[in-house]
Amino acid sequence: MGESVFLHQELLRFVSDCLSCAGVPRDDADWTAHTLVRADVWGRSTHGVSRLLAYVRGIERGKINPTPSISVTRTAMATVTVDGDDGLGPVVAKVGMEHAILCAKESGVGAASVRRGNHAGALGIYTAMAAQEGFVALAFTNAQPAIAPWGGSKAFFGTNPIAMSAGRGDQQITVDLATSVVARGNIILAAKEGKPIPEGWAMDERGVPTTDAKAALSGAVLPMAGPKGYSLALLVEVLAGVLSGSAVGDQVGSIYDDRPEAPDTGMFFLALNPEMFGGRQLFESRLFEMEEEIHHAPIADGVDQIYLPGERKREMAREREASGIPLCAQTVAELEQLAQQFSLRVPKIHQGEQS
């Protein structure tokens, strides 16, 4: 299927308007729109505007609270706990990271444990936010069951992503990865588009390897690097789920199913203040030196350039912010559905159909 290209600001406005029509306060709608569109700008369409319909339907089913009373408790100089009141995941996650940063400013280290969250999108958005202020940041979240324990056939852990950011501007490194061999969003997108998935991504509900995206959603995604990915998924579950008091493992819900219960997603955010270790200036200079050494390392045959994690996203972001953001036909159809529901106008297609 083809793609259609939309201007950045017009898409932001439309996504925010949809969320506002669904009952989300404008500031929260704007931030959530930013996180969804930012994922598309970075080339992470699985975590982008393709999630908007699910967010709106989650609000309508009572799984997502559009106007949460988020509570933050300072439990020590360096720690806070956050109760997200089942609010939009991006809104709850932002509060968690902001308070981890506040603690780190005072104590050198800040940790925020979050319960009653929701799907928060691309975690690198929150770590990048902290890094831009000069911090080193990590983020973890559990999710609906997707990965089976190593040797098992039934999904128990979520794809349980891990993100880390350090540095500012064009020197920023952002690592953002699922502990599964592929983000579950890739399989959701393939199922929407009626496309098969590659071998080695998933197994069906009987534990048999499959290339059928819909069968994979009923089964389990394979962990990255075999037992190592399983171990990382477990690590995230301890930090995001067990520690926070949120749902754990196969008890974590989904914004996609028809059950009325909220997912009760857990998250964990950590911010480190370089000023209270070796000093911020020394940290940033050493980080830059390391990046330069990596860039100038010998390259393998057939490779033009060594990239640092996050560099390609920045390049793509500059291009898409200037020339437009491509969305697949299925996502465009969902935007049209929401536009009709809320009596809104879908943004004008900027460059027609793309192959």
Considering only residues 259 and 272, tell me which one the structure prediction assigns the higher pLDDT. Answer: 272
Q: How far is CA 341 from CA 69, 257, 269, in A?
A: 27, 21, 36
Considering only residues 351 and 260, tell me which one the structure prediction assigns the higher pLDDT. Answer: 260
Dist CA 308 CA 169 (whole Å) = 13
> Residue 88: phi, psi to the nearest 5?
-55, 130
Mean pLDDT, the chain, as a whole number? 94
pLDDT at position 92 over 60: yes
Percent of the chain's residues with pLDDT above 70:
98
pLDDT at position 351 over 70: no
Choose, from 119, 295, 296, 350, the residue flagged as catalytic.
119
* pLDDT-based confidence at residue 183 (cuts at 50, 70, 90): confident
In the prediction, which pLDDT does 295 show? 96
For residue range 219-264, list pLDDT tens digits in order: 999 999 999 999 999 999 999 999 999 999 999 999 988 888 999 9
In the prediction, which pLDDT does 268 show? 98
pLDDT at position 354 over 80: no
Tokens of 232: 């990382």
CB-based contact 256:147 (threshold 8 Å): no
Mean pLDDT in residue range 190-202: 91
Domains of the chain, CATH where assigned: 1-60+324-355 (1.10.1530.10), 70-180+223-310 (3.30.1370.60)
CB-based contact 311:169 (threshold 8 Å): no
CB-based contact 149:142 (threshold 8 Å): no
pLDDT at position 11 over 50: yes
For residue range 105-156, list pLDDT tens digits in order: 999 999 999 999 999 999 999 999 999 999 999 999 999 999 999 989 899 9
pLDDT at position 1 over 70: no
In the prediction, which pLDDT does 346 show? 92
Dist CA 283 CA 39 (whole Å) = 28
Closest CA to 22 of 59, 47, 50: 59
**34: annotated active-site residue:** no
pLDDT at position 88 over 60: yes
For residue range 38-76, list pLDDT tens digits in order: 999 999 998 999 999 999 999 999 999 999 999 999 999
